[in-house]
Amino acid sequence: MNSALALSVLDQSPISEGSSGAEALRNTIDLARLTEALGYRRYWVAEHHATSMLAGPAPEVLIAGIAAATTRIRVGSGGVMLPHYSPLKVAEAFSVLCGLYGDRIDLGIGRAPGTDPSTSFALQRDRRVQAADDFPEQLAELIAYLEASFPEGHPLARLALTLPGRPISPELWLLGSSPQSAIWAGELGLPYSFADFINPAGAEIAALYRDRFTPSRELAAPRLAIAVSTICAETDAEAERLAASSRMAIVQLRRGRPSAVPSVEKALEFLSTVVPFEVSGARRFVVGSPERVRAGLEEVAAEYGAEEVAVVTITYDHQARRRSYELIASAFGL
């Protein structure tokens, strides 16, 4: 069984209740090794700060560990939250990764803070005033470093030539869940990764990206990936049971009470007391047996016109997460 749809992984490094952030990071390395062996295209890690649920505040560090533990799969960020950083520092960090691991590093860039306002403020180097909202200028500067495309005579042009990984550069993606990110990605000629697991009403936004797309030096035609919350098990019933942990965690997050990923038993008891809409909300989950999940992912990809799906899977038990990726790979004939 074959499919033209490429499969990748977006790992948020979930922390299970009773476990630790260190164990979650080790699980990420383990899952990266497994999904490389299974034939997934790329493995991205997210950036979240000051949360008891997710262990990924420094994706550039985690990428180095994943790339060292693998040999073929593309490894990258899903994504680096650029407003927290100097564009030069991001360019340097990812150039180091390219110097170490060659042409398999991706740099996914996001605008969201990945945390609450007080933590965002704590991340600022200069706390005298709130950081400026200058993301388009930051992104343009980052591209100029990576492509060495500053105008002649620009005072920063020489810095682009000092990046240690040259001539290799990371593959740059723009991440988003809103129309504005689609417009920027299209106008800059960047590949675009849309977070369906945050906003499942993105088909029109994907169309906006294609409509606004202008070919660039690196990309001649639109390139769209989507990230979808997915849990697969041998049966629909078992997959739905496993999904209870994620559903409870999301409800708690919406209530402003983020916590570690709960056990299935605890989650099922909790969800029995919650009104159905609060459980489902506006989020989409593709959950079920291998056949059901394949059909669901292909349906979502067709809705967007996407050629790649990044599977986002959070379960309480790491072995269940491993098994989910194994079953999806088999269903798609990877």
Report angle CA 276, 278, 300 to the nearest 5 degrees: 85
pLDDT at 278: 67
Contact between residue 46 and residue 106 where contact means Cβ atoms under 8 Å apart: no
pTM: 0.94
Q: Which domains does the chain have, with CATH numbers?
A: 6-331 (3.20.20.30)
Sorting pLDDT into bands at 50, 70 and 90, what band is 283?
A: confident
Write the pLDDT tens digit of every residue in 181-234.
Answer: 999 999 999 999 999 999 998 999 999 999 999 999 989 999 999 999 999 999
pLDDT at 274: 83
Half-sphere exposure of residue 269: CA atoms within 13 angstroms, side-chain side? 4
Half-sphere exposure of residue 179: CA atoms within 13 angstroms, side-chain side? 3
Sorting pLDDT into bands at 50, 70 and 90, what band is 279?
A: low
112 has pLDDT over 80: yes
Q: What does the block give as tokens for 184? A: 């920027």
Write the pLDDT tens digit of every residue in 120-170.
Answer: 888 888 777 777 788 999 999 999 999 999 999 999 999 999 999 999 999
